Amino acid sequence: ENLLYNWMINFQYMSDEYVKMYKKSKPVGDGKEPDIYIFSDPQWTPVERPDLDFSCLSDPLTLCYFDTDQNCAAILGMKYFGEHKKGTLTMVWALANRNGYASCHGGQKEYTLPDGSKYVASVFGLSGSGKSTLTHAKHGGKYPITVLHDDAFIINTETCSSVAIEPTYFDKTADYPTGCPDNKYLLTAQNCSATLDEDGKIQLVTEDIRNGNGRAIKSKLWSPNRVDKIDAPVNAIFWIMKDPTIPPVVRLKGSALASVMGATLATKTSTAERVAAGTDLNALRIVPYANPFRTYPLVHDYEKFKKLVQEKNVDCYIVNTGDFMGKKVQKEDTLGILETIVERRAKFEQWGPFEDIEIMTDWSGKSGDFTPNLNDPEYATALKNAMQNRVDAVAKFATAKGGYDKLPDEALAALQKLLDELS
């Protein structure tokens, strides 16, 4: 019952407004898409049989099975709501992919500039990358801001408009102290405990004191500037990485390079993810488009993001929200970078030998000198290794899982060109 309650709260309920919208809507896929069915049995346990092998499961006591072509899924042995949320998003993203949308694990916001023009920015990153912070930042009230969502949305690759998949937020409670004013917007909580305060009132115990990955469903009303759709076309894509060899911001030229850099998005594991014991949380790993919930070939995402850049003139950037060669990129740096780009004050120039990468070295709120020194042998070697890792990843896509995630040759060529330019 608790899981079902969370499920109903997290996704859009049948309000009068949405009932009317649904009646007026056009069937997805011209009516050829089957209804979505998700079966959940949190009490499921595997039964050993000679014809079954559970060794492929990350946890032998749980199982998710998706048949996204038929819009069906089974979520077994999982008592945590987060698995049901992501399972539902997995279904929606697969369905959207078949119907001309780019599936996005990230945040999107719309800026209204003093001249009345709109600027729509999409940021892509895993939990803990800073995508929620960047999405909800109000930039000191410099301009009106509208937020689509900070975790899950889709972009129409023809109109470039965007639609949120969830009305609520599924927030980490690590940054919400007990008694925090924002806590009044929390609807349900997971992985948290509760206690009585001096007035006898029940208070959530947050900040991951009880255990890691404390979560809560937060009401849409927390953000007064929330919308479910942004009609204005997306202007820019920002791949959020924590690659210490990448400066705080670079701009990518060419649609193949822009898309393959998303396909080789380098980041670090966060406490929101369940990983094997002994996993180094500081080690870089590649998560294509920051979306580990894909049930279709990777080339679909590659082609859709490439189309946005090539045909729809969407700009593409990488922002590093981690460390750059030992120096922390502050939140104020990244927000200042966004402001400088949005206000069209950004001055980019070719980065060293890279014909297709441009760098910006000055922005609002800059906290220090982040100019990369390509003449430093240590840095040059680290950068070359980082690019080699991307080349290796794309080459592996072509052979792993029988080539299921193979990308076009142009993707590998775009990365190899960067390596050659460093030699």
The stretch 283-288 carries a mean pLDDT of 88
The stretch 329-346 carries a mean pLDDT of 97
Residues 357-408: pLDDT tens digits? 999 999 999 999 999 999 999 999 999 999 999 999 999 999 999 999 999 9
8 A C-beta contact, residue 389 and residue 286? yes
User: Is 179's pLDDT higher than 90?
Assistant: no
Which range has highest mean pLDDT (28-42, 129-143, 309-323)?
309-323
What per-residue confidence (pLDDT) applies to 272? 47
Residues 239-268: pLDDT tens digits? 999 999 999 999 999 999 999 999 999 987
Question: Which domains, ranges and CATH numbers included, belong to the chain?
Answer: 104-165+230-423 (3.90.228.20), 170-218 (no CATH)
User: Is 271's pLDDT higher than 70?
Assistant: no
The pTM (predicted TM-score) of the whole model is 0.93
Q: How many CB atoms lie within 10 A of CB 259?
A: 30
CA 296 to chain centre: 17
User: Is 347's pLDDT higher than 70?
Assistant: yes
Which residue from 44, 26, 212, 230 is spatially nearest to 122, judged by alpha carbons?
230
Residue 322 banded pLDDT, cuts 50, 70, 90 = very high
Rounded to an integer, what distance in angstroms lies between the CA atom of residue 314 and that of residue 162?
A: 14
Identify the burial level of 91 via C-beta atoms within 10 angstroms of its C-beta, where 0-12 means exposed, 13-18 middle and 19 or more buried.
Answer: buried
Rounded to an integer, what distance in angstroms lies between the CA atom of residue 240 and that of residue 307?
A: 20
H helix or E strand, kind and range, residue 194: strand 193-196
What per-residue confidence (pLDDT) applies to 282? 57
What per-residue confidence (pLDDT) applies to 270? 52
User: Is 307's pLDDT higher than 80?
Assistant: yes
The stretch 334-349 carries a mean pLDDT of 97
Residues 22-72: pLDDT tens digits? 999 999 999 999 999 999 999 999 888 888 887 777 788 899 999 999 999
User: Is 16's pLDDT higher than 70?
Assistant: yes
* Helix/strand/coil for 326: coil
User: Is 287's pLDDT higher than 80?
Assistant: yes
Residues 202-237: pLDDT tens digits? 889 999 998 888 999 999 999 889 999 999 999 999
User: Is 180's pLDDT higher than 90?
Assistant: no
